Structure formats: C-alpha cells, structure tokens
Chain A
Amino acid sequence: MLQNIFTDNNITWMDGKGTDSDIVLLSRIRLARNFKDLPFPNRASTEQLADARSRLLSVLDKISATTKTNYICLDMDKLTDLQKRVLVEKHLISGNFTKHSDSRSLIVNADSDISIMVNEDDHLRIQCMKSGLDLSDPMMTAFDTDNCIEEEYDIAFDDNMGYLTACPTNLGTGLRASVLLHLPGLAATNQIAKIINISPQLGLAVRGFYGSNAPGNLFQIANQLSLGFNEKELTENLSRAVQEIVSHEREARRALLAYAEDKVCDQAWRALGILKYARSLSERELLSLVSNVRIGIDEKIITSIDVDVFNKLIIAGRTNYLTNLQEKENMSQREIDKKRADIAREIISDSSSDKEVIS
C-alpha cells in the first residue's frame, strides 16, 4: 500500500459516487488540534516535536479500532522530495508541510480518506474526505478520531477562544470544511464571478482549485470563519451554499444545452478525440479537455465511457505523479507532456466500453 499511495490514480475518496457527485467531487473536513503542554511546532524543540508525534502514535491503535481501519505512518524525512510532492498533489499533505522534515509525519489509512498530519502548523491536523456532497459523515469520523486523542491527552483549549491553534484564523473550532466543485456550466455562462463576489458575505471563500483561472473548471469552496459558530452551523452553512451553487450549475447546463447543444456536443466529442489520440498534453490542456468530456458524460452525450475516468485523469495528469511513475526526477517538460498523453490514452481506453486499439 505504501507503493500504491504514490502510484495509484484510483482514489476511494474521489470515486465519483455520492450525493450530487456529477457536480460535487469531494467533501473534506480538517480539524486543527494541539497538545496543551507543548509549544506549537513553530516554537517547539526537536524533542518536543518528537513528543507530539509519539503521543499520537500511542493512541493510534485506539483510533484504528474506533474508525475500523488500519493506518500507516509516513515519516517525511524518509520520503524523497518527489514522493512528498505526489502527496501534495493528492491533497494528503500541504505544501507547507514539505518545508520541514524533522518529526513530521503523515498518518494515513488504507483508503487514504482519513489522515493526520503531525507537526504541520499545529501538532495535529485531522483530515477526513468523502466523495460527493457529504460533510456530516467525515465530520463524525473527524470527531471520533479527535475524541480518541483527547481522552488520553489534554488539548490546548480556552473556554472563550476554543481550540487554540498556531494561526488565529483557525482558532475556535479549528475547523476547515471544504468542497470541490466542477462548474463548467457556470464558467461557460460567465457566472463564476457572482459566486466569488457573494461568498465573503456568507463567511465562505471560493478559489480555483488548480490556480487562479481555474483550469478544468474546478473550484474549491471553504468556510473562512472558525470561531463564533459551532461545527454544525459552519458545515450546514457551507452545504447550503453548495446546494445553491449546484442548482445554479444545473440551470446553466440546461440553458447551454437549450441554446447551444451542437456546440456542447462538438466540444465534448472533440475533447474525447484529442484525449484518445494526443501524443503530448500540458496539464492545463488535459484539465480543460477532461472537463469537456465530463459534461458530455453528465449530459448523456457520451455514453461509452465510465464517469470515474474524469477523477482518474485529474490525478493522473499531475506533473509530480507522472514523474514519480517514471521513477526519474527532473523529467523535461516535453517528456512529462508525452507521458501525460500516454496515461490519458490508457485510462480512456481502459474505461471505454467500445474497446478499440488506440495506442
């Protein structure tokens, strides 16, 4: 499984199933926690960092029994830079986490839908993910995990300020709930700006998932506030906003199909054609093609391909993931783009019901 985590493009927490999974790819919960009597990682000594890690490891069996799954511990000082970057691409660790390796570990279960970053900004970052729109299930898993830890150790907490965190923006609940959305309809009808503009008033932040101009029409929406509201209020507020966005996205798609069905059809088939035959693809081009194919599948224009091909391609198209597959650091851009096209052809051919030789 240690090998799989770096080479698998099949991620259970993004299996294309769940509520509204045609538009909501992923729901994610993160809780920030610190041990009471240890300085936060930014002011902790090597011994104190090691102490925080061994405390968590001491309750791992209990967490394992409660969440009914097995965990492995990946020590950052034993991974290559490339392996770390693959974990970043898979959203198991943050970019920030790769800056230090001293007593930094990722605890992750077999399905990689439950993980704990040890000694990032905070001693513990509990992360739980689920396919589709469902924040309450991962929230419960995160609470169960948190309870296992706080039954054994005192957690940094203040009656007024709540859970104490290294960054005041996480204070209180320590909660960051986020949802990953595919919004080609709203993007094509120029309505993304509306959502971005209104979100701060709702205490939410929207951003392009892979950068500012949102390649692949992928957006992440998350709560901005963590203090003053309880976890249920924060996640319900986010869920409500997401449901609203989902219904606007469906409306936009209906309008697109009503007024420009030919164009949507053409784009979807054309994108599939390129993915099937291209010999070189940039990351951005792949994401945009994959987005066009996905709307084609969602709207039953393309029926010969499995839905999960979309999620697989997103992961498989990432540069570091590809480089790691080649087991070779410093691949040139040209080699990576070639490899990306090879993998895309392979994934498309594997999930096509009408098998044809396309390699």
Chain B
Amino acid sequence: MLCDNCKKNDACMHITQINGNNKIDRYLCEECAAKYGDFIMQEHSENQPEIFSVNDFLSGIFNNSPNDQQTTPANAPPAGEEYACPSCGMTYMDFTRSGKIGCGTCYNTFRNRLEPLLRRIHGSSKHTGKIPHRAGKTLNIQQELALLRKQIETYVDSEEYEKAAQVRDCIRRLEKELNLNEGRS
C-alpha cells in the first residue's frame, strides 16, 4: 500500500485524524508521518518571541495622523515643503516611512518637526545625560554650573553660608574657564 500523502513510499503507519465528527483514516510512510508529527507538535510548541519593532510603532504614529491618511496624490503637500537633508539626502517623508533617521545632520535639518515627536516619545526634548568630551567641553561646564547654582540655593535656604561661599568660588572658577573656552573658539 502506498502512502496517502506522497504516493511514493510504502505506507507503514496508520493515523486516525478526528476533526469534530469527521474521522479520517490516513496511511503514511515513515517520512510523511514524521512531517505530520512535526506539524502537530508545532501547534503546541512555542510561538517565536514577539518582536516589537519600534519602527512599526513610529510609522504607526504617522500613518494614523489624519494628514497622511487623507493625502491623495491630488492634494499632496506642496513640493517646496519636501526638502532633503543636505548631508544624507533623507526627506521627512523617508523618515515617516522607515521610522529611521539618516544621519546626525537630519536632526538639525528637521529639528522643528522632530521636537514635538521627541516630546511625545520621551516627554522631553532636552538632554541632561553624559556629554562627549570632544564635542561638549563648554556644555560639560554649563551642566556643572547649573548643578552648582541649584546647590548654592539650597545652602542659602538652609543658612549654611560657609558651604555656599565655597560653592560660589567654584562657580566663579568655572565661569572664568567657560569665558576662556568661548573666547578661543
């Protein structure tokens, strides 16, 4: 007897499949039976982990905006608005499609359009974390100054004037350094 599935090899296994009230008898060869087994097992086995793609999420934001959905070729935005990043050539439309920015200059090119998006994603559009030494020498000092100015206020509030004076000296030193840096550049 030949295998019901491939009709090539000899059937060596009898499988009864029950779907609701239907009972189907199948005679399969070893190879096809193994495949059938895999199929049954896979139904019970794990689905691969869900991969949540941020890009899908971002394009979701744009595709749901009324602008994009109703835009037909006839009332597309004026051509003048579609400028490209001078450094990498990305247009804002490219970004809305891929969810990915093309280069560092893009952030400058599309700053006005990106800032509201950043506030929506992060609740903020101002970086307060680590600063690269080469790019941000003055910025490092500015960040430290802001911290010290906050500190001086709390010392004054708690009438710890000696400590406040120390912090004030620090601030003066940093301000001097900052002026030097800016004078040089």
Q: Which one of A38-46, A100-108, A249-257, A302-310 contacts B?
A: A38-46
A273 at the interface (CB under 8 A from B): no
Shortest distance between the CB of A43 and any CB in chain B (Å): 4
Contact assessment for B101 and A333 in the assembled complex, using a CB-CB cutoff below 8 Å: no
Name the CB-closest residue of A to B104: A156
Q: How far is the CA of A6 from the CA of B132 in the complex (A)?
A: 35
Instruction: Give bound CA distance, A118 to B135, whole Å.
Output: 22
Could you say which residues of chain A place their CB within 8 Å of the CB of B101?
Answer: 40, 164-168
Task: Specify which of A147, A164, A210 is in contact with B46 (CB 8 Å cutoff).
Answer: A210
Q: In chain B, residues 24-54, which have Cβ atoms closer than 8 Å to a Cβ of chain A?
A: 34-35, 37-38, 41-42, 44-52, 54
Assess A332 versus B38: contact at CB under 8 Å? Given A169-B54, A211-B46, A228-B124. yes
Q: Which residues of A contact B (CB under 8 A)?
A: 34, 36, 38-40, 42-43, 95, 121, 143, 146-147, 150-151, 154-169, 171-173, 175, 207-212, 215, 225-231, 234, 282-284, 332-334, 337
Q: Across the two chains, which residue of chain A brings its CB closest to B52?
A: A207
Across the interface, which residues of A come within 8 angstroms of B46, CB to CB?
210-211, 215, 282-284
CB of A161 within 8 A of CB of B41, answer no
Q: Is the interface of B mostly helix, strand, loop or mixed?
A: loop
* 6 intermolecular pairs with C-beta atoms under 8 Å apart: A40-B88, A157-B136, A173-B129, A211-B46, A283-B46, A333-B45
What is the CB-to-nearest-CB distance from B169 to chain A, in angstroms, rounded to a whole number? 25
Asked whether, in the complex, the Cβ of A228 is within 8 Å of the Cβ of B126, the reply is yes
| Interface 9-residue window, one of B13-21, B65-73, B114-122, B157-165 | B114-122
Contact-residue size bin, chain B (C-beta under 8 Å from the other chain): 35 or more
Inter-subunit contact B128/A228 (CB<8 Å) = yes
Chain B residues packing against A (C-beta within 8 Å): 34-35, 37-38, 41-42, 44-52, 54-55, 58, 87-90, 98-104, 107-108, 114, 117-118, 121-136, 139
Contact A211 B49, beta carbon cutoff 8 Å? yes
Contact (Cβ within 8 A) B102 A39: yes
Task: Name the A residues within 8 Å of B50 (CB-CB).
Answer: 207-208, 211-212
Cα–Cα distance between A208 and B155 once the two chains are bound (Å): 47
Contacts of B139 in A (CB 8 A): 159
- Contact partner of A161 (CB less than 8 A), chosen from B35, B87, B107, B133, is B107
